[in-house]
Amino acid sequence: MDMHIKLHNTEVYKKSIINMSTTVYNNLPGFIKEIDDYKAFEKELKLFLLRHSFYWVEEFVSPRDPTVILI
């Protein structure tokens, strides 16, 4: 389930931690977002980020090649 991103009119809000963290969460693979246990979620998220080594947040949230599957 994705989180709702509020509409924003300013660059300050667009770059805020609330907006960026919501955007990052919404772009996580479904199998990570479905984890209910906090420790298990934290572990899977860490492994996912270590496997993929995103350099910038924009790199992670940018449109991806649909033929590439991130696991």
Q: What is the pLDDT of residues 17-70, one digit of tens each?
A: 777 788 888 888 889 999 999 999 999 989 888 887 777 667 666 756 555 556
Greatest Cα-to-Cα distance within the chain, rounded to the nearest angstrom: 36
Residue 31 vs residues 10, 19, 52, 62: alpha-carbon distances, Å: 33, 22, 16, 19
pLDDT, position 24: 80
Torsion sign, CA atoms 52, 26, 38, 32: negative
